[in-house]
Structure 1
Amino acid sequence: MACSFVIRPYGSNSLKYLVCALCLLVSVSAIGAEKKPITVKVFIAGMFEIGANQGDKAGEFQHWYERYFADAQPITIPGALTPVFCNKNGVCGSVLGMGKVASSSSMLAIVLNSQFDLSHSYFMISGVGGIPPSQGTIADVNWGSWLIDYDLGHRWMPEEGEAGAPVFMPRQGYEDIRRYQLNPALVNFAVSLSKNAPLKDSPSAQAYRIRYPEPQARRKPAVTVGTHIAGDTFFHGPGLSAEAQYMSELYGADDYMIAEMEGVAIAQVLARTVGTDRMLSLRGAVNFDQGNPNESTLAHLDPAPGETAGGFAETVENIVIVGGSVVDHIVSHWSDFKDGYTAK
């Protein structure tokens, strides 16, 4: 609001000062009346929802919504796929969309929107993924220590290269965006706090596990930690799983644990804006990244009726059981987390 007045030749200076003071008071009042941005303590991001946010089959966001946002009003954000919901305790969340482009576009729109103060926020990137049977099992929940882009390189057909050699080579110029290490202190804290969470299981998941000979594939669900690799194309089969592990080793990361589609792209958005030190990536395993020894890769990708992996419903619930304990701890101990987290 601008103040203006006219100084007349024979007017009193006292009147001029009075008008200016009143104008300044109105300006300050108008500024104070502007709606302050929401201070976000934790932002929870799902990638997809199957239907509604409550009352039907749950996807990646429904259990988060029911736990934190059932009474929240939607906040529409230009450029974001779905509205943002915020509760009175400073927890906000939204569905960003599947794939690197959709999810990162939504995340950028939200971070840049003036309705939110995300300068001290923690980001819980939450979803499902695939897991190698040598590393884990259906309904596992895994904290990401590293996020890697499955793309950003060169690939060729195996028969066009050296026999038995890798068919991937990183492309120069992407060194800063092809992999991100998440804050080790924060990741270790999340693992320590949630490692004994009471995870759910199901007879259908148990029956599916025994098709695989690996001990890790046959065990009960657990909370684990490792590298998440994101590609817009679902990669399946023992060959591409081995390639994902090769990439993890090539980039100096931890063992490949989860195949997903979004994490590294969201990390790039946060790195360019508010930073990744407060970012957590949490994924539940809803499938193995390859078939069992009696199943071809194509049969695994397109299973016959009754041959699909069980445990989806339990896994999406497990994600929130594990992640919710961390969200609640951060909010209830906000003074310890507001200025960032380092190992205590």
Structure 2
Amino acid sequence: MNQISQFIPARGARRLLAALAATALVAGCASSPPAQVATPMAATSSAQAPARIPVKVFVAAMFEIGQNTGDRAGEFQYWYERYWKGATPIEVPGALKPVYCNADGVCGAVLGMGKVNSSASMQAILQNPRFDFSKAYYVISGVAGTPPSRGTIGEVNWATWLVDYDLGHRWAPEEGKPGAPTFMPRKGYEEYRRFQLNPALTAWAMKLSADTPLKDSDSARKYRLRYPDAAARRAPFVGTGTHMTGDTFFHGPGMSKQAQYIAKLYGADDYVITEMEAAAITLVIKRSHGTDRVMSLRGAVNFDQGHPKESTLAHLDPAPGETAGGFAETVQNIELVGSRVVDHIVTNWGTWQAGVPALR
């Protein structure tokens, strides 16, 4: 002001300052709208936000081979064709693939293979504001391996326990006592390394699905006969037991024996399924909503070891014509078994929404 008054008469200076103040006031009004203008805009934006989807059952698969329908089926295709054919995909930031939902509250997605991949997707989906998981049930679904002493190709298995195969200490066999286990659990991880799933829910799953007619194939039948075990030679069936979650796709009787040792060490049921995701996904669900409504459903497409005349390396990388058959039938069996439980929960939602009802 002092510099302006040196060159402009006092009256002119006052006029100039008044004009500048008016200009500043107009500019301030333009850059900062009154509160009453902003509030209706915010209300309009909120009104346009899509309603949350109440999820009754969420089905998680780990991979799909190609498209969701119309080609060779992976873990997701039969689920998709039953519940979401034509549904609009819902993109979720942080998830590997979109989520699909139907009008009955059944939602599902491909989460990705392995513990980190699948649990990251599950976390992103659970935290997304589009979905209401407060009353949801979960079916963690996919293919798996089985020890020939406990299971067979084409069987479908509900988990009673989930055990983390990787979380602990390991060393080379030659660096310990001959024949002794080469695994020791890490202390302090008791609540992360094993989960007992709701026994009442598992019992319901078996009640609803144990008599499901299962698919089989000639190639799977012939392959089973390479094994002397009575369980391995069985036709496909629906069973229960411990599912061992490990990023390591292990092979051979030694590793299978170690998996059984870990299951018993943790007080779980017999190890019957080897898979790569369920314990990690369940931990994510537990931290958000608890584990009383989690189911793990796996179909066996391979044995975790070779037959007596086959080396472990040959079993790991089989020659043409030496692989187990039955993959196409097993992925269909998984959906045939699992959909019985999903449909029952949704149809009887008035009974199930408050929690697992008493088994009758």
Q: TM-score, normalised by structure 1?
A: 0.91
Alignment match, 1:61: 76
Are the aligned partners of 2:166 and 2:248 in contact in 1 as well (CA < 8 Å)? no
Q: Which one of the candidate residues 221, 225, 229 is aligned to 1:214?
A: 229
Question: What one-letter code is carried by the residue in structure 2 that aligns with 1:58?
Answer: A
Q: Deviations over 1:266-324 (max 9, x none)?
A: 01101111111111000000000000000000000000000000000000000000000
Alignment of 1:1-344 (within 5 A): 31-344=46-359
Are the aligned partners of 2:351 and 2:357 in contact in 1 as well (CA < 8 Å)? no
RMSD (CA atoms): 1.7
| C-alpha deviation, 1:31, in angstroms | 4.7
Q: Based on CA coordinates, which of the two structures has the bigger radius of gyration?
A: 2
Are the aligned partners of 1:142 and 1:224 in contact in 2 as well (CA < 8 Å)? yes
| Cα distance in 2 between the residues matched to 1:241 and 1:30 | 56
Q: Which runs of 4+ in 1 moved over 4 A?
A: 23-33
Are the aligned partners of 1:137 and 1:216 in contact in 2 as well (CA < 8 Å)? yes
| Cα distance in 2 between the residues matched to 1:28 and 1:78 | 25
| Cα distance in 1 between the residues matched to 2:97 and 2:186 | 34
| C-alpha deviation, 1:30, in angstroms | 6.4
**Stretches of structure 2 lacking an aligned partner (at least 5 in a row):** 1-34
Question: What one-letter code is carried by the residue in structure 1 that aligns with 2:347?
Answer: S
Q: Deviations over 1:127-162 (max 9, x none)?
A: 000000000100000001100100110111111111
| Cα distance in 1 between the residues matched to 2:127 and 2:193 | 23
Q: TM-score, normalised by structure 2?
A: 0.87
**Stretches of structure 1 lacking an aligned partner (at least 5 in a row):** 1-19
Say which SS state the counterpart of residue 127 (structure 1) adopts: strand
| Cα distance in 1 between the residues matched to 2:114 and 2:185 | 21
Alignment match, 1:10: none
Are the aligned partners of 2:220 and 2:326 in contact in 1 as well (CA < 8 Å)? yes
Q: Deviations over 1:73-114 (max 9, x none)?
A: 000000000000011111111000000000000000000000
| C-alpha deviation, 1:34, in angstroms | 3.2
Say which SS state the counterpart of residue 218 (structure 1) adopts: coil
Seq. identity, %: 63
- Between the two proteins, the alignment pairs up a number of residues equal to 325
